[in-house]
């Protein structure tokens, strides 16, 4: 579990995050949503330590990340996995070598054990047959799956995903969502996802935090979204005619069950 308490962050005197309080549970896909410039990316960067907030606490299972010394932070970072928006694979390395990279850097296991772990992770994302290919030889969706395999190679407790569906077609996006959700549940990880994808919100939103202009505007689950009365949230999520119709249909089904 990751807990954020009274977090503040500003740039050049302008508030970007204001009194953010949130709990991200383990075993759940915790989504952070909001318009571009709302502060959700800044929040994730603060949580992983890429930015330092002015005030507040960030607790990893009770451990205050902001008060740790350099050695303690380095140890904690080994418990984190990261999936970047662009996948961020090394073009000069094969798929297998990309997945082995964090193991080569941070693991003291033998080469045989590191190889076995990397191949296990590739098999988990159904890409073992592509292990000898290079990133340029596989599709964008396959690259994202390689990125997931690399992110879980060190068996992290905490998984961070920055727009994991960016640039993918809807069908492939669903595959990535289901894979992240399944891995989160399977390994009981604390997973935090920044996303604009409303399909992700409706599909895997175990916990949703909506940020508006640096403030926590709403929180709930994918089921709570349909009955939420927050006008800004509704305008953001149900911006299209199709999604508004989905909401209306869902509300009608809920009323029938009463």
Q: Are 43 and 32 in contact, with CB atoms under 8 Å apart?
A: yes
Cα 59 from Cα 198, distance rounded (Å): 28
* Per-residue model confidence (pLDDT) at position 251: 66
Q: Are 222 and 206 in contact (CB under 8 A)?
A: yes
Report the alpha-carbon distance of residue 59 to residue 155 in Å, rounded: 20
- Sheet of 215-220: strands edge to edge? 80-83, 158-162, 190-194, 28-33, 207-212, 215-220
Whether the per-residue pLDDT at 140 is higher than 70: the answer is yes
Share the mean pLDDT of the chain. 91
- Residue 217 within any structural domain of the chain: yes
Residue 143 belongs to what domain range?
Answer: 2-222
Q: Is 245 domain-assigned? A: no
Residue 135 belongs to a domain: yes
pTM for this structure? 0.89
Task: Answer yes or no: are the C-beta atoms of 214 and 38 closer than 8 Å.
Answer: yes
Q: Tokens 């953001």 belong to which residue?
A: 236
pLDDT digits over 188-236, tens only? 999 999 998 888 988 999 999 999 999 999 999 999 988 899 999 998 8
How far apart are the C-alpha atoms of 146 and 201, rounded to whole Å?
23
Higher pLDDT, 24 or 202: 24
Query: Residue 154 above 90 pLDDT?
Result: yes
Cα separation, 81 vs 184, in Å, equals: 12
Any idea what the CATH number is for the domain that residue 78 is in? Answer: 3.40.50.300
Angle at CA 1, nearest 5°, toward 10 and 72? 70
Strand partners, 22: 4
Tokens of 94: 């094969």
**Nearest-CA neighbor of 222 among 209, 235, 240, 236?**
209
Return the pLDDT at 232: 93
Residue 242 falls within a domain, yes or no? no
Q: Report d(CA 36, CA 107) in Å as an integer.
A: 37
Residue 122 maps to a domain: yes
Residue 246 within any structural domain of the chain: no
Instruction: Work out how many domains the chain is built from and give that number.
Output: 1
243, pLDDT greater than 90: no
Residue 239 lies in a domain: no
Q: Domain for residue 243, yes or no?
A: no
């Amino acid at each position: 579990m990751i807990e954020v308490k009274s977090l503040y962050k500003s740039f050049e005197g302008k508030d970007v995050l204001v009194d953010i309080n949130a709990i991200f549970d383990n075993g759940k896909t915790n989504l952070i949503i909001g318009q571009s410039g709302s502060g959700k990316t800044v929040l994730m960067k603060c949580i992983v330590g890429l930015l330092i907030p002015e005030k507040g606490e960030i607790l990893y299972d009770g451990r205050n990340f902001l008060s740790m010394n350099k050695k303690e932070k380095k140890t904690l970072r080994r418990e984190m996995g990261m999936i970047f928006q662009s996948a961020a694979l090394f073009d000069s390395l094969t798929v297998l070598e990309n997945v082995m990279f964090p193991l080569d850097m941070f693991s003291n296991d033998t080469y045989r054990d590191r190889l076995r772990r990397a191949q296990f992770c590739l098999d988990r994302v159904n890409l073992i047959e592509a292990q000898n290919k290079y990133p340029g030889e596989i599709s964008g969706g396959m690259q994202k799956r390689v990125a997931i395999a690399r992110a879980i190679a060190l068996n992290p407790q905490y998984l961070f995903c920055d727009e994991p569906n960016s640039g993918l077609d809807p069908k492939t996006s669903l595959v990535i969502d289901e894979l992240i959700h399944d891995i989160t549940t399977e390994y009981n990880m604390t997973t935090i996802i920044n996303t604009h994808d409303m399909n992700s919100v409706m599909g895997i939103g175990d916990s949703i935090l909506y940020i508006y202009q640096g403030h926590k505007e709403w929180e709930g689950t994918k089921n709570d979204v349909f009955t939420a009365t927050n006008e800004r949230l509704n305008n953001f999520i149900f911006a299209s005619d199709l999604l508004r119709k989905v909401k209306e249909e869902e509300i009608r089904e809920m009323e029938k069950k009463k």
